[in-house]
Amino acid sequence: MVLMDAIILYFCAQPTQSEMKELVASFTAQLRQAVEIGEKATFTPSKNPIRNVLITGLGGSGIGGSIINQIVEHEIKVPITVNKDYFIPAFVGPETLVIVSSYSGNTEETLGAMEIAMSRGAKMVCVTSGGKVLEIAKANGFDHIIIPGGMPPRACLAYSFTQLFYVLHGFGLISNSFKADFETSIHLLDHEEEHICSEAYYLAEKLHKKIPVIYSQANFEAVCIRFRQQINENSKMLCWHHALPEMNHNELVGWTIPNDKLAVVFFRNETDYDRTKTRMELTKEIVKKYTPYIFEVYSKGATQLQRSLYLIHFGDWVSWYISEIRNIDATEVKVIDFLKGELSKI
Residue 196 has pLDDT above 50, yes or no: yes
| Cβ(244)–Cβ(215) below 8 Å | yes
In whole angstroms, what is the distance from residue 166 CA to residue 17 CA? 32
* Among 150, 96, 105, CA closest to 127: 105
Residue 306 has pLDDT above 80, yes or no: yes
In whole angstroms, what is the distance from residue 207 CA to residue 263 CA? 7
- What is residue 295's DSSP assignment? E
The answer to whether the peptide bond before residue 245 is cis (omega within 30 degrees of 0) is yes
Q: Which of 138, 191, 288, 340 is catalytic?
A: 340
Q: Which of 144, 221, 233, 313 is catalytic?
A: 233
* Among 87, 137, 144, CA closest to 112: 87
pLDDT digits (tens, 9 = 90+) for 88-116: 999 999 999 999 999 999 999 999 999 99
- Summarize the confidence of residues 321-330 as an average pLDDT: 95
Domains of the chain, residue spans: 2-175, 179-325
288: helix, strand or coil: coil
Binned at pLDDT 50, 70 and 90, residue 15 comes out as low
In whole angstroms, what is the distance from residue 102 CA to residue 100 CA? 6
The separation between CA 142 and the C-alpha centre of its own chain, rounded to angstroms, equals 24
Whether 340 is catalytic = yes
In whole angstroms, what is the distance from residue 54 CA to residue 16 CA? 35
What DSSP element (H or E) covers 296?
strand 294-298
81: helix, strand or coil: strand
| Half-sphere exposure (Cβ direction) of 55: Cα atoms closer than 13 Å | 27
In whole angstroms, what is the distance from residue 194 CA to residue 224 CA? 22
Whether 191 is catalytic = no
- What is residue 145's DSSP assignment? E
Give φ, ψ of 126 to 5 degrees.
Answer: -115, 135
pLDDT digits (tens, 9 = 90+) for 20-55: 899 999 999 999 999 999 999 999 999 999 999 999
- The model carries a pTM of 0.93
In whole angstroms, what is the distance from residue 163 CA to residue 111 CA? 19
Give φ, ψ of 294 to 5 degrees.
Answer: -125, 125
What class, spelled out in words, does domain 179-325 have in CATH?
Answer: alpha beta
Query: Does domain 2-175 fall into CATH 3.30.420.40?
Result: no
Q: Which of 40, 249, 261, 345 is catalytic?
A: 249
- Summarize the confidence of residues 194-202 as an average pLDDT: 98
| Half-sphere exposure (Cβ direction) of 315: Cα atoms closer than 13 Å | 31
